[in-house]
Amino acid sequence: MLIKRTNRKLTLNTLITALITVLVTTGFSVSIFAQTTVDQVTREGEKRADAGAAEQQRVEQVADQTGKLLGDYKTVTKVVDGLVVYNSLLQRQIDHQEQEKTELATSMTNVALIERQIIPMMTRMIDSLELFIELDTPFLMDERRSRLERLRGMMERSDVTAAEKFRRVIEAYQIENDYGRTIEAYRGSVVIDGNQQEVDFLRIGRISLAYQSIGGKNTGAWDTAAGAYVRLPPEKYKKHIAHGIRVARKQVAPDLLVIPVAAASKATL
């Protein structure tokens, strides 16, 4: 009996010892496992934090790239809008130039025909001007006839363009037209009592052409009806004609003039 109790006591001690060993061993292992798990979680957290920071950096880079692309897009859009307006303006200019080209081509086609028609017309204009001068009051006849001769000579020249010829013909008409609105005094000669005498002429437009001999002895005027110069009463016209000559030469201030004017014989409707 003593032996059995002793064996039971040894067995119990052995179990207790083994249990303690298992508990100690188990507790140690749990502690090691727990420590290992915390380290892993920490490392995973650090990895996720690093991954989040990397992702944030990539997001910021993408945002920067997006902002730059948006700025570039706005800039390009403005450039495109400007080019659209510029191209529209250029297109209108091209359209106008095309229209002008068409008109110039038409003008060039008709220029020969126009030149063939304008040359005879200018010749008729010179003939009409010559007839007008011969029928007009006979003032500055040498000057006016010389102008006509120069025009006729110009019409025969090949080195003068049709445009220049037409300009000079119109200029001659303008000069004749201006004579009707001006007052003028000039030196000339007239036949008085069968003798050629030097006189001062006074022209008032085309309504009056008077003269006064040097020294004022003779005073006269052109009589359109008679087609000749006639004497004027010196007591009536000598002073007025002399004063008119001084006015025309700007030697005295303009003033009221008394001049001989032919009355109209009849009215033509």
Per-residue pLDDT tens for 49-87? 778 788 888 888 888 888 888 888 888 888 898 889 999
| Same-domain status, 189 and 257 | yes
Is 84 inside any structural domain? no
| Same-domain status, 190 and 140 | no
More confident residue, 227 or 268: 227
Amino acid making up residue 120 = P
| Same-domain status, 188 and 175 | no
| Same-domain status, 191 and 241 | yes
Residue 103 has pLDDT above 90, yes or no: no
Is 218 inside any structural domain? yes
Q: Which of 68-99 are b and which e, b meaning 16 or more Cβ less than 10 Å from the residue's Cβ?
A: eeeeeeeeeeeeeeeeeeeeeeeeeeeeeeee
State pLDDT tens for residues 114-162: 778 888 999 999 999 999 999 999 999 999 999 999 999 999 998 998 8
| Same-domain status, 162 and 207 | no
Contact (Cβ atoms closer than 8 angstroms) between residue 187 and residue 198 = yes
| Same-domain status, 119 and 161 | yes
State pLDDT tens for residues 105-116: 887 777 777 778
pLDDT score, position 4:
46
Count of structural domains within the chain: 3
| Same-domain status, 211 and 227 | yes
Is 175 inside any structural domain? yes
State pLDDT tens for residues 4-52: 444 544 455 565 566 555 544 555 454 554 566 767 767 777 787 778 7
Q: Quick one: what percent of the chain has pLDDT higher than 70? A: 83
pLDDT score, position 66:
87
Strand order through the sheet with 228-231: 183-192, 195-204, 208-213, 219-223, 228-231
> 155 lies in which domain range?
115-179
| Same-domain status, 203 and 252 | yes
Is 138 inside any structural domain? yes
Is 64 inside any structural domain? no
For range 188-217, the mean pLDDT: 92
Is 134 inside any structural domain? yes
- Cβ-count burial of 232 within 10 angstroms (0-12 exposed, 13-18 middle, 19+ buried)? buried
Last residue of a domain, one of 179, 199, 233: 179
Is 45 inside any structural domain? no
d(C-alpha 68, C-alpha 65), whole Å: 5
Is 108 inside any structural domain? no
Q: Mean of the per-residue pLDDT values for the chain?
A: 83
Q: Quick one: what percent of the chain has pLDDT higher than 90? A: 45
pLDDT score, position 32:
52
- Cβ-count burial of 221 within 10 angstroms (0-12 exposed, 13-18 middle, 19+ buried)? buried
Last residue of a domain, one of 164, 179, 194: 179
Among 177, 234, 194, residue whose Cα is nearest residue 210: 234
d(C-alpha 139, C-alpha 229), whole Å: 12
* Residue position matching structure tokens 């110069």: 229
Q: Is 260 left (phi over 0), alpha (psi -120 to 50) or beta?
A: beta
Last residue of a domain, one of 179, 204, 225: 179
| Same-domain status, 200 and 161 | no
Contact (Cβ atoms closer than 8 angstroms) between residue 147 and residue 175 = yes
